[in-house]
């Protein structure tokens, strides 16, 4: 048996450069996700979240670096990896020619279940995901939230080592979103390892054990939501590294980011002092403001260290 804290997902220098693209979509990612953890990849559109999930689920071939799921090489042994993972993608991948129950049942057969146990597991899952009433309905009768619950049910049918979910709550109404959060919490309570992507800081905060904030395919910060927030609850100093004119970046961030008290110029970036009142969703807001002003953020970090007033700009 693997140790409880052993990494179930591990990447080393994982990189993807799409053909005809000059900048990497994912740039030397080093990541470890532990057993039973709900790990969040948080980042804006184009940050590299889907590409990362694509590489970890064997759909996208890395340009460089390596990744392992439960110690199995994702590139070298992709067929085996596919058997131990599950993916809920952003698209509806249900079979529209089948009923709700059949979508689960045939998935079970595909994964080697007998007809009898496939049927039993399908019915258990329908109960558990509050879909039993629709068991014999065609999948097109399902609302978006229900269709997604069915995709999650199908994904965990074969008890995968890791469940990947790419922006699972994007486009869901608030009620379906809450229902999904509940389901995910239940899965985590049972020890299911989950990696999800989101561009919603609140969602990452609500759900995740640890969060990696990524942009331009690189990790800018990685910690528990509590630690990320604790850092921003105290007298917070945010360091932003970005090519370009630091003075211009400082002016931009002082103007665009609520709660910035002072700025200080650094070689290749700026330091911001932010008030507690300005700490809500601070890192995504700093990131959006910088990029909205045309700066490519190379590094972003947050610390609860005292501001040195003598040298403030």
Per CB under 6 A, residues contacting ligand ADP are: 18, 21, 25, 43, 45-51
**β-pair type (64-69, 38-42):** unpaired
Closer by beta carbon to ligand ADP, 15 or else 103? 15
Q: What is the largest CA-CA distance in the chain?
A: 74
241 to 113, 249, 260, 297: CA distances (angstroms): 52, 10, 16, 6
Closer by beta carbon to ligand ADP, 21 or else 185? 21
Q: Minimum distance between the CB of residue 24 and Mg ion, rounded to whole angstroms?
A: 16
Find the part of the chain contacting Mg ion (CB under 5 A) among 14-22, 41-49, 116-124, 270-278: 41-49
Closest to 99 measured CA to CA, from 142, 156, 129: 142
- Collapsing DSSP states into helix, strand and coil, what is residue 280? coil
Q: Minimum distance between the CB of residue 158 and ligand ADP, rounded to whole angstroms?
A: 26
Q: Minimum distance between the CB of residue 21 and ligand ADP, rounded to whole angstroms?
A: 5
Find the part of the chain contacting Mg ion (CB under 5 A) among 43-51, 62-70, 142-150, 240-248: 43-51
Find the part of the chain contacting Mg ion (CB under 5 A) among 47-55, 142-150, 179-187, 250-258: 47-55
Q: Minimum distance between the CB of residue 54 and ligand ADP, rounded to whole angstroms?
A: 7
Closer by beta carbon to ligand ADP, 177 or else 218? 218
259 to 172, 202, 236, 292: CA distances (angstroms): 31, 19, 10, 18
Closer by beta carbon to ligand ADP, 24 or else 70? 24
Phi, psi of 137 (to 5 degrees): -85, 155
The option from Mg ion, ligand ADP, none interacting with 18 (CB < 5 to 8 A, set by class) reads: ligand ADP
Handedness of CA 91, 87, 82, 67 (dihedral sign): positive
Residue position matching structure tokens 């809500």: 280
Distance CA 43, CA 144 (A): 24
25, 41, 42, 50: which one binds Mg ion (CB under 5 A): 50
The option from ligand ADP, Mg ion, none interacting with 283 (CB < 5 to 8 A, set by class) reads: none
Closer by beta carbon to Mg ion, 34 or else 199? 199
125 to 176, 190, 259, 283: CA distances (angstroms): 17, 14, 47, 38
Q: Minimum distance between the CB of residue 59 and ligand ADP, rounded to whole angstroms?
A: 10
């Amino acid at each position: 048996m693997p140790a409880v804290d052993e990494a179930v997902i591990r990447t080393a220098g994982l990189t993807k450069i799409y053909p005809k693209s000059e900048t990497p979509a994912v740039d030397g990612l080093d990541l470890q996700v532990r057993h039973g953890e709900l790990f969040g990849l948080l980042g804006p559109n184009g940050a590299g979240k889907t590409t990362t999930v694509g590489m970890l689920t064997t759909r996208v071939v890395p340009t460089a670096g390596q990744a392992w799921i439960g110690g199995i090489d994702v590139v070298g042994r992709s067929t085996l990896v596919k058997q131990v993972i599950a993916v809920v993608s952003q698209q509806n991948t249900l079979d529209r020619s089948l009923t709700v129950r059949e979508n689960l049942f045939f998935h079970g057969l595909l994964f080697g279940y007998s007809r009898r146990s496939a049927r039993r597991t399908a019915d258990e899952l329908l109960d558990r995901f509050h879909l039993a009433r629709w068991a014999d309905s065609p999948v097109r009768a399902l609302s978006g939230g229900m269709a997604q619950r069915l995709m999650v049910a199908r994904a965990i049918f074969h008890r995968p080592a890791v469940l990947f979910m790419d922006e699972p709550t994007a486009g869901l109404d608030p009620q379906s979103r809450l229902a999904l959060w509940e389901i995910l919490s239940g899965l985590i309570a049972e020890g299911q390892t989950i990696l999800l992507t989101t561009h919603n800081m609140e969602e990452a905060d609500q759900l995740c054990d640890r969060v990696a904030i990524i942009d331009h395919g690189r990790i800018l910060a990685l910690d528990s939501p509590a630690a990320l927030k604790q850092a921003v609850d105290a007298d917070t100093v945010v360091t932003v590294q970005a090519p370009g004119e630091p003075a211009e970046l400082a002016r931009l961030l002082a103007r665009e980011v609520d709660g910035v008290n002072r700025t200080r110029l650094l070689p290749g970036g700026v330091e911001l002092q932010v008030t507690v009142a300005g700490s809500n969703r601070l890192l995504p807001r700093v990131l959006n403001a910088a990029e909205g002003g045309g700066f490519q953020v190379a590094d972003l970090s947050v610390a609860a260290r005292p501001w040195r007033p003598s040298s403030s700009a």
